[in-house]
Structure 1
Amino acid sequence: MNLFMGNTDWAKNLEPLLKKYKGKKHPLDYNNVYQLMIMVILSAQDSDANINKIAPQFFETYPNLESLAASNLEAIISQITKVRNFNTKASWLLEIAQTLKTDANIPKTMESLTALKGIGRKSANVMMREAKLPAEGIIADLHVIRVAPRIGLTPEFKDGNRIEKELMQVLPKTIWGEIGMAISFLGRETCRPTNPKCPECEINSSCQYYQSTI
């Protein structure tokens, strides 16, 4: 039986992850909310490492939304050709910049963030967590989608929104803001897709995968 089907106190069992990762900055190397928003959009279906490489030149050219809004599609595309789906993402960035006009207008709620092109719930959750805004959901990135079912926290879904919905049902709202990123860091550092470092994992005593291997 999967652990999520039982009476596992996941809020308690995940405390070591919160202790280790609470407040740890997202791997995207941003300096302000504007930069974070742009990088989150660019990172969809791409790697944080790749976005970190192209970001400095992009932000030298476009230091804020005002400068981005005054640009054009061809110029923006020329800055992000090494990013996956750069044509689509360039159109999203230009539309967002021309809609918001200034950095001060960047939204602060789930509803208003997800109303923007290129920003789904995962991206909005990341932005709200990094800005220390009250959580309205739980970050469910590729690492969380993989790790949450493996440890027995949720059923196995490939869709981030379904994983997020399950997590929101299982976990108390008091930890929503941090737990998604904590699980993500676990997946990046310890709970690797292959050869996971189970013996050194802080939550192996409550992990379905680990318990099945010992």
Structure 2
Amino acid sequence: MVTPIDEFGTQVCVASGVATAKAERFQLLVAALLSSQTQDPITYAAMQRLHQLGEGGGGLTIEAVLATKEERLDELLQPVGFHRRKAQQLKRVASILRSRHHDDVPTGLDELLALPGIGPKIARVILLLAWGKVDGIVVDTHVHRLAQRLGWAGATMDPESTRRELEDWIPRELWGKLSLAVVGFGQAVCTARNPSCTSCPLAAECPSAFKIQPATRMKMKKPPARLEKEQQRGKSNSE
């Protein structure tokens, strides 16, 4: 089963033939930063545009970002969620990596969290993909939802609480693999609105199986009689 994260996830957003390991790690950081509040295909498309940065299309590097105006970055990022803010953050991150980290991605969670736009989830994604380091289970909206439905964690609105509960009983050696696998499963099978319980291999053990109400379209409210008459009168006058 191929899922959106397999085709468009952060791990496949690196340019083919990237010149250096540092450049590869930076591209992974950028893709992870852009992925927040954005669907994977949109992030992937934005990354392809960013790969054309630099003199002669030299690629997405710290140097290229620093040399590009923020307004141009904003244009390239659209329609990424909060693209204007992320263009600002991208410029600041590039500057910090140059001045404090020798043009490289930090190897520690606290150092990553100190970067603009990088929260706990994104920081753990970067550590996992850029450095192969597992500093906890990555809990995004899909992992959080599945943990609730499967009864893996108690009812909470806080992904960090879910992460701590999962880490209490899931063996550490599975944390990295579980993060990527559950995200894909949530995208393709246990979706937010219309989960495919009939084809789910976990349905027999899932306490939420066949209990999620299918999504329905909201019906438009009929306008008040007075407004409806005014609309009809305006239409008649225009004819």
Q: Pairwise CA RMSD of aligned residues?
A: 2.6
TM, length-normalised to structure 1? 0.79
CA distance in 1, matches of 2:8, 2:154: 26
CA distance in 2, matches of 1:95, 1:104: 13
The equivalent of 1:97 in structure 2 is 94
Contact residue 54 and residue 80 of structure 1 kept, 8 A: yes
Contact residue 191 and residue 197 of structure 1 kept, 8 A: yes
CA distance in 1, matches of 2:68, 2:169: 45
1:83 aligns with 2:75: no
Q: CA deviation at 1:161?
A: 1.6
- 1:157 is paired with a residue of what secondary structure? coil
CA 1:61–1:212 in structure 2 vs 1: closer, same or farther (change >3 Å)?
A: closer
Q: CA deviation at 1:122?
A: 1.0
- 2:80 is paired with a residue of what secondary structure? coil
CA distance in 1, matches of 2:168, 2:199: 28
The equivalent of 1:13 in structure 2 is none
CA distance in 1, matches of 2:61, 2:102: 7
The equivalent of 1:143 in structure 2 is 142
The equivalent of 1:123 in structure 2 is 122
Alignment partner of 1:65 out of 37, 54, 62: 62
Instruction: From the CA coordinates, give the structure whose radius of gyration is larger.
Output: 2
Number of residue pairs matched?
192
Contact residue 143 and residue 184 of structure 1 kept, 8 A: yes
Higher relative contact order (CA 8 A, sep 6+): 1
1:47 aligns with 2:39: yes
TM, length-normalised to structure 2? 0.71
The equivalent of 2:13 in structure 1 is 30
Contact residue 152 and residue 208 of structure 1 kept, 8 A: yes
- 1:167 is paired with a residue of what secondary structure? helix
CA distance in 1, matches of 2:198, 2:88: 46
Unpaired segments of 5 or more residues in structure 1? 1-19
